[in-house]
Amino acid sequence: MSRFFTTGSDSESESSLSGEELVTKPVGGNYGKQPLLLSEDEEDTKRVVRSAKDKRFEELTNLIRTIRNAMKIRDVTKCLEEFELLGKAYGKAKSIVDKEGVPRFYIRILADLEDYLNELWEDKEGKKKMNKNNAKALSTLRQKIRKYNRDFESHITSYKQNPEQSADEDAEKNEEDSEGSSDEDEDEDGVSAAAFLKKKSEAPSGESRKFLKKVEDENEDSEDSEDDEEWDTSTTSSETDSEEEEGKQTVLASKFLKKAPATEEDKKAAEKKREDKAKKKHDRKSKRLDEEEEDNEGGEWERVRGGVPLVKEKPKMFAKGTEITHAVVIKKLNEILQARGKKGTDRATQIELLQLLVQIAAENNLGEGVIVKIKFNIIASLYDYNPNLATYMKPEMWQKCLDCINELMDILFANPNIFVGENILEESENLQNFDQPLRVRGCILTLVERMDEEFTKIMQNTDPHSQEYVEHLKDEAQVCAIIERVQRYLEEKGTTEEICRIYLRRILHTYYKFDYKAHQRQLTPPEGSSKSEQDQAENEGEDSAVLMERLCKYIYAKDRTDRIRTCAILCHIYHHALHSRWYQARDLMLMSHLQDNIQHADPPVQILYNRTMVQLGICAFRQGLTKDAHNALLDIQSSGRAKELLGQGLLLRSLQERNQEQEKVERRRQVPFHLHINLELLECVYLVSAMLLEIPYMAAHESDARRRMISKQFHHQLRVGERQPLLGPPESMREHVVAASKAMKMGDWKTCHSFIINEKMNGKVWDLFPEADKVRTMLVRKIQEESLRTYLFTYSSVYDSISMETLSDMFELDLPTVHSIISKMIINEELMASLDQPTQTVVMHRTEPTAQQNLALQLAEKLGSLVENNERVFDHKQGTYGGYFRDQKDGYRKNEGYMRRGGYRQQQSQTAY
């Protein structure tokens, strides 16, 4: 017997405490004769016994409903949370799923969710408008759903092939399962509702029919209002206290009535009824959307997508019938600009409104002055699109900016009567009086400078090893073309200061580029053409050297600010050095005296100075001036921070010394990748220069205790090479230089040459020079000469005399060169020898001390310095008392004897200290 009809529910036992009488129903009694009286609490909350399957499936459907609601409002974060809960709930229901099979509604939500996420992922504009959490959740959920759906691939495929049939089967299955589950529950308790209410179910009264019909209608309505994936939901109708007792009994009976098994006709009727209701629902929805669109025509309401932030104050365009005049357009422009910078303002919408305003002004022929003013504001809005200073412009915004500046320049060149300037006040603007020159407030130079900075920022934030970097680099041609146009415009209408600023921008885009055309013309001048024809050809394509000379000289003469002039000088020196004009570059650097006060300049100028000095050193190396090259590169290379000093990256150890803000500032100072100087080439040039200077010097002062180091870094590399337990073939550039140095020490120039110039070193370093063959030839000659000097220093004590012809054959140098080298060594007193001209031999004089004598001299010098140090320390401790007085020149005073302890000896002739 069911416990509903025996002892009552928990709510009934609780309600009995309040004094109400509980009436029990005897088993087998007639339900119609004895009414079942329930308390008010029992009527409000009726206890339902459900199977484990219903409980698990209801939990799944509730989670699915939450996911679908989140999908409607584009809340991906909520979708991710609920999807994880859904997976856990499905795991709990695994035993039931294994028996019954995977429910269709579960397959449907997996398929729909995956399609929804793919649609969001492909919507690039929508992704940009997502907040950070939603974007992160979208990526995470997309990966999870794709991985999760692999286990249900066959089910999802069959569902996608026929989704409508799947939905219908699922609905029928839901109905049958709900009926079956109610049967099972009732049979388990021993009494079924059909058997208990047999008479009533066979022939219900007329009034009962009304109530039953009402309940069925309510159940059907509730089923239509819910999603297709809901398994089985029951609706309860609230009854009023004023109803008849019999009505209460009938309604309660209808809850436990078993539905008659559905025949084929009933199924067809139910399916047709469901289709009709779905069609009506769709018609109502489309009608409501049409009405909303009609309301939107008035401009008062707008339908927005869920999840997209609303613009708080969107400026309205002109109402119908409004006369478009200058005053109206300017007023509208100011209204749009007032929202600029406010919280919640959609910057993209602002730009669109300004572009629409330009079209309206052009359609109504309001003149170029108004269009120019609006264009200035469009470009400024494009620059303000990214509120963060560190972020760079997106490609579409960058292209819009370039097009807008070109359009603005077209208007300014086509209308010479338009004057623009930042010194023009808004009150004194002339936008509509065409009899007088039009005056517009705005500075085209500021826009171009900002454009150049944005281009640099784009290049800094792009991966230099990607194709995207190459595509962005192609835009430099457009940037340079715009700068040239602004330069021509300002040369006509700009001030001297503005011309200097735009000249500097042109210089900054020219100084680092090697002019291959001019270099080719210099190598192969046209034959058979007159001088005037050559001049004409050069004028048609102006060399970068001529251009730099003209722009820099104007700045030298006209500029009043030190910064622009300093940058121009450094760029000019860099350009000279890049094209191997060593003496012009050196003279300009020495005359400028920049090295005296460059430490007071701002960091970008200091970076430019470091880059110029490095290029100057590389230029000296190409000319064979190893000492000048070493001196120019010494400061950069000896610091160990060449990468940081050249603005080509930050060192990891220095990152710990600065906070996050300082790091951002440092990163903004970095030079774009296409301006970088090869650091390996730089180090190789420095080490080879140091080798050519240091090895002969070490050989000449091998036994000198006071020998100084020319290059600490080179000596460090030598020590590293000596500490290696196993010496194999050199691999890196440094190892090649160390191996070459050891060979040069022995006077073996061929081995040194093979280590410095080989296929590996050519690929890493020497092929990067514009005239690689010329550099390699110069290097071979330098190695031969310095190896000769090293050989003479090392083995001069072995020879009494040596023939210059023998030396010439050994080092493959011509006789005059050998004669010149030895003569210089003798003149500089580096080699104690003399030349015997008739026999062409070098006669050694043997005046150098032997090794034993050198050691004795060193010991004597060290003992003398030790005695002096001891006396100095002793005098410092004793002050002016005790010991011997020292004479400044003659050492110990003679004939003085010991002095009395008590003070300085008074001299009668001395009257003052």
Q: Where are the chain's structural domains?
A: 52-162, 326-494, 678-844
What is the sign, positive or negative, of the torsion defined by CA atoms of 557, 562, 564, 570?
positive
Per-residue model confidence (pLDDT) at position 233: 39
For the chain, what is the largest distance between any 2 Cα atoms, rounded to a whole number of angstroms?
154
Average pLDDT, integer, range 704-730: 80
Lowest mean pLDDT among 115-124, 403-412, 612-621, 875-884: 875-884
Q: Which residue has the higher pLDDT, 435 or 592?
A: 592
Per-residue pLDDT at 577 exceeds 90: yes
- Confidence at 132, pLDDT banded by 50, 70, 90: confident
Q: How far is CA 546 from CA 531, 541, 570, 575, in A?
A: 17, 10, 16, 11
Q: Is the pLDDT of residue 189 over 60?
A: no
Least confident range of 156-165, 219-228, 895-904: 895-904
pLDDT mean over 122-136:
84
Nearest CA-CA partner of 578 in 617, 549, 609: 617
Instruction: Check: CB of residue 790 under 8 Å from CB of residue 745.
Output: yes
Query: In this structure, are residues 149 and 114 in contact, taking their beta carbons and an 8 Å threshold?
Result: yes
How many residues are present in the chain? 913
Q: Which amino acid is at 466?
A: S
Average pLDDT over residues 800-823: 88
607 pLDDT above the threshold of 70: yes
Residue 795 CB contacts under 8 Å (≥ 6 apart), including other chains: 747
Give pLDDT tens digits for 389-436: 777 888 888 898 999 999 999 988 888 888 888 888 777 777 777 778
Mean pLDDT of 87-101: 87
| Res 503: pLDDT | 94
Q: In the predicted model, is pLDDT for residue 833 greater than 80?
A: yes
Per-residue confidence (pLDDT) for residue 238, from 0 to 100: 41
For residues 264-282, give the mean pLDDT.
Answer: 76
User: Most confidently modeled of 302-316, 653-667, 717-731, 810-824?
Assistant: 810-824
Report the pLDDT value the prediction gives residue 746, as an integer from 0 to 100. 86
State yes or no: pLDDT of 214 exceeds 80.
no
197 pLDDT more than 70: no
The better pLDDT of the pair 566, 4 is held by 566
Give the tens place of pLDDT for each residue, 859-912: 888 899 899 999 888 888 876 444 444 444 444 444 443 333 343 334 434 433
237 band by pLDDT with thresholds 50, 70 and 90: very low
Q: Going by C-beta distance under 8 Å and a sequence separation of 6 or more, which residues neighbour residue 601? A: 563, 566, 609
What distance in Å separates the CA atoms of residue 845 and residue 834, rounded to the nearest whole number? Answer: 8
**Is 678-844 a domain of CATH 1.10.10.10?**
yes
Minimum mean pLDDT among 99-103, 430-434, 599-603: which range? 430-434
Task: Select from 387, 377, 436, 376 the least CA-distant residue to 411.
Answer: 376
Residue 647 has pLDDT above 70, yes or no: yes
Burial label, 500 (beta-carbon count in 10 A; 0-12, 13-18, 19+): buried
Least confident of 133-142, 410-419, 723-732, 821-830: 723-732
DSSP-assigned beta bridge partners for residue 76: none
Instruction: Name the percent of the chain lying above pLDDT 90.
Output: 22
> Higher confidence at residue 867 or residue 216?
867
* Tens-digit pLDDT profile for residues 561-576: 889 999 999 999 999 9
Question: Can you give the pLDDT at residue 353?
Answer: 86
Q: Which of 600-614, 675-689, 732-746, 845-859 has the lowest mean pLDDT?
A: 845-859
Contacts of 645 (CB under 8 A, 6+ apart): 607, 610, 636, 639
The predicted structure's pLDDT at residue 316: 54
Can you give the pLDDT at residue 304? 53
Between β-strands 833-836 and 841-844, what pairing exists: parallel, antiparallel or unpaired? Answer: antiparallel
Averaged pLDDT score across all residues of the chain: 76
| Percentage above 70 pLDDT, the chain | 72
3-state secondary structure labels for all residues of 507-563: HHCCCCCCCHHHHHHHHCCCCCCCHHHHHHHHHHCCCHHHHHHHHHHHHHHHCCCHH
Of 149, 150, 144, the closest CA to residue 108 belongs to 149
Which pLDDT band, with edges at 50, 70 and 90, does 179 fall under? very low
Out of 249-258, 375-384, 398-407, 832-841, least confident range: 249-258
Q: What pLDDT does residue 293 have?
A: 54
The token pair at 782 is: 């330098």
- Inform me whether the pLDDT recorded for 175 exceeds 80: no
pTM as predicted: 0.60
Instruction: Quick: pLDDT tens for 342-385.
Output: 777 777 888 888 888 888 888 888 888 888 888 888 898 888 88
Most confident residue range from 176-180, 232-236, 278-282, 316-320: 278-282
